[in-house]
Structure 1
Amino acid sequence: MISYIEGKLVEIDPTYIIIDNGGIGYHVNISLNTYSLVKNLDQAHIFTHFHVKEDAQTLYGFFDQDEKKRFQQLISISGVGPSTGLMILSSLSSQELHAAIVNSDVKTISGVKGIGQKTAQRIILELKDKMSKEELEAGGPLLTLKKEHSVKSEALAALTTLGISKSVAEKTLDKIMKDSDEDLGLEDLIKLALKRA
């Protein structure tokens, strides 16, 4: 209904802003990420999500479209309401959330206050379905770095479970990843390590 509001920032708080547009002051709930980007501004262009329920009509605001999109994806998940969505986006940037989803990083998401392991797993599972192939493949060096680290730690856990000592497994994995020209998947990495360890 209301896609964005542009106007003068009358009040700025870590959890909300009041933005004046045409003499009307809109109370907009925001994440800490958005707060850090607007706290020194006099004017702002805020992308909004208008949330209606029986007892309330609330505006949620975001500095960029990417964060708004993540928020809308999050609240479409059963058990994740707007307050939880905002809490996640206050704890993680949309890029960090993206990386956690791509890498199935339950620990990062469950590290958010109020998010248990089961909810984190559900968020990862459902957002992987909702995110387009392009979105899942997109990501800068940070994403690649996290992905490599995540695959290595998962492979290490699997190898130690299979009875290989941690030090031997780590050395083997490091050598394989150093020698390999391509990005190895988890299964390939474990198979190669089992042959060499």
Structure 2
Amino acid sequence: MFAYLEGDLTHKSPSLLYLLAGGIGYEVNITLQTFSKIQHLEKCRLYTHLQIREDAWVLYGFADEQERTTFRLLLGISGVGAATARIILSSLTPEELERAVAQEDSIALERVKGIGAKTAQRIILELKGKLFNKKNTGTISLPVHNTTTEDALIALVNLGIARTAAETAIRKIKDAATLSVEELIKQALRAL
């Protein structure tokens, strides 16, 4: 609904701020990462995400688009709500989260308050290949150790197929190593 809000900061705290824009004072929930970037500013632009719940409309603001995109990806994970996503992004920058996912470092995620081993593994599984470093550094962080077979397995699991069934189907395919990920997925689906 709102792509971003730009205006005067009338109140700031590490988790919440009031932003005056167009004569309206918006209450915006923020992460510690955003707070550290805007704490000394009097005016700013926040990229927003509006969550409409049965009992409230809650506005979340982020200092940059990468953090908002990461927040939205986290919301798409079963068991990760807005409060948990905000805690994750308050504890880890999007780059640190990307690194933890790429390196399958569940310990880094488990250090975040409220994240257990199962949730950490689910975050890694579901975000693998979705997070990319948006900065123009000349390099793109890609998942390490992934093969075509592993990529196909992840895709099949994300489609709701049990991991053991997906692994069995992939093993049945002749010359799996020479096929593209898409073709491997198609053949595995036929083999189920």
What CA deviation, in whole Å up to 9, does each residue of 1:34-85 have, x standing for no partner? 0001100000000000001111110000000000000000011111000000
Alpha-carbon distance between aligned partners in 1 of 2:137 and 2:103, rounded to the nearest angstrom: 14
Q: TM-score, normalised by structure 2?
A: 0.69
Alpha-carbon distance between aligned partners in 2 of 1:29 and 1:68, rounded to the nearest angstrom: 12
Q: Is the 8 A contact 2:95 2:133 kept in 1?
A: no
Query: Partner of 1:33: helix, strand, or coil?
Result: helix
Q: 1:106 is aligned with what amino acid?
A: S
Query: Partner of 2:70: helix, strand, or coil?
Result: helix
Q: Is the 8 A contact 1:7 1:19 kept in 2?
A: yes
Unmatched runs of 5 consecutive residues or more in structure 2? 145-192
Percentage of matched positions with identical amino acids: 44
Does residue 83 of structure 1 match 2:83?
Answer: yes
* Offset, 1:22: 1.1
Query: Partner of 1:2: helix, strand, or coil?
Result: coil
What does residue 128 of structure 2 align with? Answer: 128
Query: Partner of 1:44: helix, strand, or coil?
Result: strand
Q: 1:5 is aligned with what amino acid?
A: L
Q: Give the 3 Å change call, closer, same or farther, for CA 14–138 of structure 1 in structure 2.
A: closer
Does residue 98 of structure 1 match 2:77?
Answer: no
* Structure 1 consecutive aligned stretches of length 4 or more whose deviation exceeds 3 Å: 136-141
Q: In terms of Rg, which structure is larger?
A: 1
What CA deviation, in whole Å up to 9, does each residue of 1:85-114 have, x standing for no partner? 000000001100010011111000111000
User: RMSD of the TM alignment (CA)?
Assistant: 2.5
Query: Partner of 2:128: helix, strand, or coil?
Result: helix
Structure with higher helix content: 1
Q: 1:32 is aligned with what amino acid?
A: L
Q: Give the 3 Å change call, closer, same or farther, for CA 139–106 of structure 1 in structure 2.
A: farther
What does residue 74 of structure 1 align with? Answer: 74
Query: Partner of 1:67: helix, strand, or coil?
Result: helix
* Offset, 1:23: 1.0
Alpha-carbon distance between aligned partners in 2 of 1:59 and 1:76, rounded to the nearest angstrom: 17
What does residue 22 of structure 2 align with? Answer: 22
Q: TM-score, normalised by structure 1?
A: 0.67
Q: 2:94 is aligned with what amino acid?
A: S
